[in-house]
Amino acid sequence: MAYIIAEPCIGTLDKSCVAVCPVDCIYEIEGADQLFIHPDECIDCGACVDPCPVDAIYHEDELPDNWKNFIEKNRNAFPDLRNPREDTKIVSNPPYEK
């Protein structure tokens, strides 16, 4: 299981979560309206949850029912889960800059 970024991130794209992720598994993808957590790279540490200013990040098991569709949306952001950097147009996954 992994953490999921849900509806509150749409249009916000705040990168506070990126700054604290120890494995750099949070991505901004070209043309997307939100950030995404790569499910195979996420180590389930939860470091990204509290820094999110819009409370958009939940563990997959704790995602509110009305946002369950974000599990599939998140997985679909990475067509080849073995190597997203080749199959997805990553806009950024840099160290967070204020």
pLDDT one-digit tens code per residue, 11-40: 998 999 999 999 999 999 888 999 999 988
For 81, the token pair is 């889960």
Helix, strand, or coil (residue 36) = strand
Name the average pLDDT for the chain.
Answer: 85
Bridge partners (DSSP) listed for residue 26? 37
Quote the CA–CA distance of 58 and 68 in Å, as a whole number. 11
Question: What is the pLDDT averaged over residues 54-63?
Answer: 96
Domains recognised in the chain with CATH numbers? 3-92 (3.30.70.20)
Bridge partners (DSSP) listed for residue 3? 59
Quote the CA–CA distance of 76 and 98 in Å, as a whole number. 29
The single-letter code of the amino acid at 43 is: I
Quote the CA–CA distance of 1 and 42 in Å, as a whole number. 9
For 9, the token pair is 């991130």
What is the gyration radius of the CA atoms in the chain, in angstroms? 12
Question: What pLDDT score does 94 carry?
Answer: 47
